[in-house]
Amino acid sequence: DAGVTQSPTHLIKTRGQQVTLRCSPKSGHDTVSWYQQALGQGPQFIFQYYEEEERQRGNFPDRFSGHQFPNYSSELNVNALLLGDSALYLCASSLSDSYGYTFGSGTRLTVV
């Protein structure tokens, strides 16, 4: 049974560009959360999607947006990239009423 799959594993973008990160949740999970983890820091909550809607959002600007598809997979979009957006982006899936989060290995984004 596959866990959470994220793609791509690594990518490099230029300031001002846009990026899309993808996440396939663990089989049977219907909720997807996204986190940003800067080097040497704990993860910071970006948002959570359930039933194709944003259910909760952290303190991130509108440049960060997302989407959940009917098959529960999700995308994270970041527009107008800044150097400070360089981080590991983590996707976590769960059942809507459970704290059993399963994390993917993350996407390492470098903005140059």
Partner 1 sequence: GDSVTQMEGPVTLSEEAFLTINCTYTATGYPSLFWYVQYPGEGLQLLLKATKADDKGSNKGFEATYRKETTSFHLEKGSVQVSDSAVYFCALSGGGNNRKLIWGLGTSLAVNP
Q: Is 110 in the site for partner 1 (CB under 8 A)?
A: no
Question: Which member of 19, 21, 33, 36 binds partner 1 (CB under 8 A)?
Answer: 33
Q: Is 35 in the site for partner 1 (CB under 8 A)?
A: yes
Question: Which member of 62, 70, 84, 99 binds partner 1 (CB under 8 A)?
Answer: 99
- Number of residues counted as binding partner 1 (CB under 8 A): 24
Q: Is 58 in the site for partner 1 (CB under 8 A)?
A: yes
Closest CA to 48 of 27, 31, 62, 70: 31
Q: Is 25 in the site for partner 1 (CB under 8 A)?
A: no
C-alpha span between 107 and 110 (Å, rounded): 10
Q: What are the start-end ranges of the E strands in the chain?
A: 5-7, 10-13, 19-24, 31-37, 44-50, 53-57, 64-68, 74-78, 87-94, 102-103, 107-111
Cα 1 from chain centre: 21
Question: Which member of 36, 43, 72, 93 binds partner 1 (CB under 8 A)?
Answer: 43
Chain residues binding partner 1 by CB under 8 A are 4, 31, 33, 35, 40-45, 48, 55-56, 58, 90, 92, 99-106
